[in-house]
């Protein structure tokens, strides 16, 4: 490579790493794997070492990735929260040891290391005054972070008061456990929200919520791994400080191995690698730290990284195995996912016998056939993936695979819409998606069955008390009260709410059916146009196309939904249960709020936000969750917060509840 080529490649690598770092740190939405990013950074670091004249302060080799998110107060770290230099082989670790040991011998200090798991989460600092938690911040760019004190207070393992009245700043890693991450994504799938790519970004996104009540809903945890500053205690060694932090009440990283030399450190790294599958939390490597704190001071730091610590990244492992079969699984939202059934093979410490093939496009892109020899890769705690087919090992016995056009669980039509990669079952009674169907049916904007929440639906299904949506209307008081201790009052309230839902307007029932692309607004348009469920079920594609806000894709989805035998069966069961099938059309077609956008904030005395929102929509208005220059009115109740401030900044008209009542009277 010529000098000019090297300069061009360095500029290109800086652009790439800056972009991917921004997606990772700032947007919590990574676009490439950690390993791919690490390899780009390694190439950049090596080129800059070879051509130091091209190094500048804007390179990510010279600074920490991440910026302060708008909406948070800035915090200047008293002690910088630096990142670590990554290595990928033991030769580099021996080189690190040689440099460190030379300084230790010159300083007459006994060199020991502490090896810890490199937890895959978001780094934070916690500040305590006189034993009281006073402030917490993200790492940010290492020098300046975000004040997220209120969010950190929602994490149970962060002590608000220490066992001793000390002044101390500590550093830790906020994370979501493997089990917590799976459950979080499962809930997001039910809500049809985008799934988190990995636990690290789920933790980061949760911790950087502007509303701490949202953070409190996420299963966040923390491990403390370093004393940043202590005004009251003079520690001699890092290991000693970790033991003291445990005494203070901190949740300290449970994997901390004291090593007498580099060979013991390598054994510790290998042990962590062997054990990482059994850890309850995700890791992206192991950290090797000098134990003696005075030696750390002598070794010092660069602008970006300490010279007394280094991070070993476990290389991805690849193995060949046989693709024995491809089966299809149906998720809770009806998405049909192809799964590879593999000849069991051990990769990166775990035995892999199956893995996702994502969708039809992935299979075509990889040119996968049943019976192929394939290469499986697993890096750290990442889900194993099929990397490629070993085509030279094909012998003519391989069988092409096609995605089904019927659901493998219930036999209903499986549809792939234009522009989407996923194939979905549209059967309303499909057992695979039954939980999600019931959850949506009972939700506030649908049938609004109060008390029928996530855990209650799970219990009803687990006990066999309901087997389809219509079974809700056959529940008995005696059955429901067994779901809770002393549950008679709860059971009566739930039965009453179920019975009340029978009288709902037709649009609520249409929305409750969960037809693809049909929300509250679309359901209201359909109810207004067709007046009865029977009319809607008999509507032709052409008639559906005539409805306001109904395009080709939506009309096709509605038509196909009502063509299904499962849909017809459920509607008949709901009719038998005396659920209303007609629109409650009033004489007055009042669109006084047409073209207006309202934002509701704070607590109203006479209305819930849902009730106020429904009134606005009935008058032709729109309700938004955020304030912008396009907002017509902000309706401010008690304890109105940041939305009121934003309205005042933008000059948006703010009205109180009394004025709102006058407008709707």
Give Cα 518 to chain centroid, integer Å.
25
CA atoms within 13 A on the CB side of 577: 20
CA distance 117 to 364: 38
3-state SS class at 518: coil
Give the orientation angle of helix 434-442 with respect to helix 178-190, to 10 degrees.
60
Residues 6+ apart with CB under 8 A from 316: 35, 348, 377, 378, 379, 380
Q: Is 275 helix (H, G, I), strand (E, B) or coil?
A: helix
Backbone phi and psi for residue 120, each to the nearest 5 degrees, phi listed first: -90, 90
Q: Are 119 and 175 in contact (CB under 8 A)?
A: yes
The two tokens of residue 560 are 């196909």
Which one of 69, 74, 118, 322 is the catalytic residue? 118
- DSSP assignment of 334-368 equals SEEEEEEEEEEEEETTEEEEEEE--SHHHHHHHT-
User: For 126-146, b where at least 16 C-beta lie within 10 A, e where not — what string?
Assistant: bbbeebebebbbbbbbbebbb
Say whether 435 sits in a helix, a strand or coil: helix
**Spatial CB neighbours of 137, under 8 Å, sequence gap ≥ 6:** 75, 77, 124, 125, 127, 145, 146, 147, 148, 149
Q: DSSP 3-state assignment of 121?
A: coil
Residue labelled with tokens 């009042």: 590
Query: 552-563 and 565-576 are packed helices; what angle lies between their axes, rounded to 10 degrees?
Result: 70
| Cα(470)–Cα(577) distance, integer angstroms | 8
Kind of pairing, strands 350-356 and 373-378?
Answer: unpaired
Encoded tokens for 336: 């049909």
Phi-psi region of 602 (alpha: psi -120 to 50; beta: other; left: phi over 0): left
**The tokens 């005054």 sit on which residue?**
129
Closest to 601 (Cα-Cα) out of 632, 627, 629 = 627
Question: What's the CA gap between 155 and 209, in Å, rounded?
Answer: 13
Phi-psi map region of 531: left, alpha, beta (phi>0 left; psi -120 to 50 alpha): left
Nearest to 114 by CA among 243, 284, 230, 297: 243
Contact between 41 and 32 (Cβ < 8 Å): no
**Structure-token pair, residue 359:** 């969708």
Give CA–CA dist 382/401, Å, rounded. Answer: 26
**Whole-angstrom distance, CA of residue 88 vs CA of residue 311:** 9
Question: By the 8 A CB rule, do 30 and 198 touch?
Answer: yes
How long is the chain? 665
Residue 610 tokens, joined: 């849902």
Q: Would you call 346 a catalytic residue per the annotation? A: no
End-to-end CA distance of the chain: 77
Please give the positions annotated as active site.
118
């Amino acid at each position: 490579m010529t000098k000019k080529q090297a300069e061009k490649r360095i500029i290109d690598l800086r652009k790439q790493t800056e972009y991917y770092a921004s997606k990772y740190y700032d947007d919590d939405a990574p676009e490439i794997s950690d390993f791919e990013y690490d390899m780009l950074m390694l190439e950049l670091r090596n080129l800059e070492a070879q051509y130091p004249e091209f190094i500048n302060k804007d390179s990510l080799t010279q600074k920490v990735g991440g910026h302060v998110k708008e909406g948070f107060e800035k915090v200047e770290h008293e002690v910088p929260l630096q990142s670590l230099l990554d290595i990928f082989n033991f030769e580099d670790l021996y080189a690190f040891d040689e440099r460190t040991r030379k300084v230790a011998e010159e300083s007459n200090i006994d060199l020991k290391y502490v090896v810890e798991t490199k937890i895959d989460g978001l780094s934070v600092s916690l500040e305590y005054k006189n034993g009281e938690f006073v402030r917490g911040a993200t790492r940010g760019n290492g020098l300046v972070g975000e004040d997220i004190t209120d969010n950190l207070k929602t994490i149970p393992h962060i002590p608000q008061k220490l066992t001793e009245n000390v002044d101390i700043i500590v550093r830790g890693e906020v994370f979501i456990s493997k089990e917590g991450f799976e459950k979080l994504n499962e809930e997001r799938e039910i809500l049809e929200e985008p799934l988190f790519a990995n636990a690290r970004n789920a933790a980061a996104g949760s911790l950087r919520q502007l509303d701490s009540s949202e953070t409190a809903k996420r299963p966040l945890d923390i491990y403390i791994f370093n004393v940043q500053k202590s005004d009251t205690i003079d520690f001699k060694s890092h290991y000693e400080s970790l033991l003291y932090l445990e005494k203070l009440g901190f949740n300290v990283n449970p994997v901390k191995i004291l090593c007498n030399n580099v060979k013991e450190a390598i054994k510790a790294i290998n042990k962590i690698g062997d054990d990482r599958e059994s850890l309850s939390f995700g890791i992206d490597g192991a950290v090797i730290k000098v134990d003696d704190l005075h030696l750390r001071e002598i070794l010092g730091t660069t602008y970006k990284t300490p010279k007394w610590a280094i991070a070993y990244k476990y290389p991805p492992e690849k193995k060949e195995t046989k693709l024995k079969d491809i089966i299809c699984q149906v998720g809770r939202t009806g998405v049909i996912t192809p799964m590879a059934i593999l000849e069991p093979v051990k990769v990166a410490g775990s035995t892999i016998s199956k893995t996702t093939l994502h969708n039809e496009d992935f299979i075509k892109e990889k040119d996968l056939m049943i019976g192929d020899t394939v290469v499986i890769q697993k890096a750290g705690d990442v889900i194993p993936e099929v990397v490629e087919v070993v085509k030279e090992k094909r012998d003519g016995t391989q069988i092409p695979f096609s995605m089904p056009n019927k659901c493998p669980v219930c036999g209903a039509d499986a549809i792939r819409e234009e522009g989407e990669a996923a194939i979905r079952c549209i059967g309303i009674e499909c057992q695979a998606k039954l939980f999600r169907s019931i959850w949506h049916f009972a939700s506030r904007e649908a049938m609004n069955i109060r008390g029928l929440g996530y855990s209650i639906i799970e219990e009803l299904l687990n006990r066999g008390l309901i087997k389809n949506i219509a079974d809700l209307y056959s529940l008995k008081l005696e059955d429901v009260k067994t779901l809770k201790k002393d549950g008679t009052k709860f059971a009566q309230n739930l039965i009453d709410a179920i019975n009340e839902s029978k009288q709902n307007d037709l649009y609520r029932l249409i929305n409750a059916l969960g037809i693809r692309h049909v929300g509250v607004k679309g359901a209201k348009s359909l109810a207004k146009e067709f007046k009865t469920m029977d009319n809607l079920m008999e509507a032709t594609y052409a008639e559906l196309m005539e409805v306001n806000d109904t395009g080709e894709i939506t009309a096709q989805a509605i038509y196909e939904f009502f063509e299904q035998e499962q849909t017809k069966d459920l509607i008949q069961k709901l009719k038998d249960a005396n659920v209303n099938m007609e629109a409650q059309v009033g004489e007055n077609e009042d669109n006084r709020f047409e073209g207006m956008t309202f934002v509701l904030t704070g607590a109203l005395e006479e209305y819930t936000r849902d009730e106020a929102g429904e009134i606005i929509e009935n008058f032709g208005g729109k309700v938004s969750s955020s304030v912008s220059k396009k907002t017509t009115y902000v309706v401010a109740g008690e304890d109105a917060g940041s939305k009121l401030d934003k309205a005042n900044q933008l000059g948006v008209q703010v009205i109180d509840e009394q004025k709102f009542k006058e407008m709707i009277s």
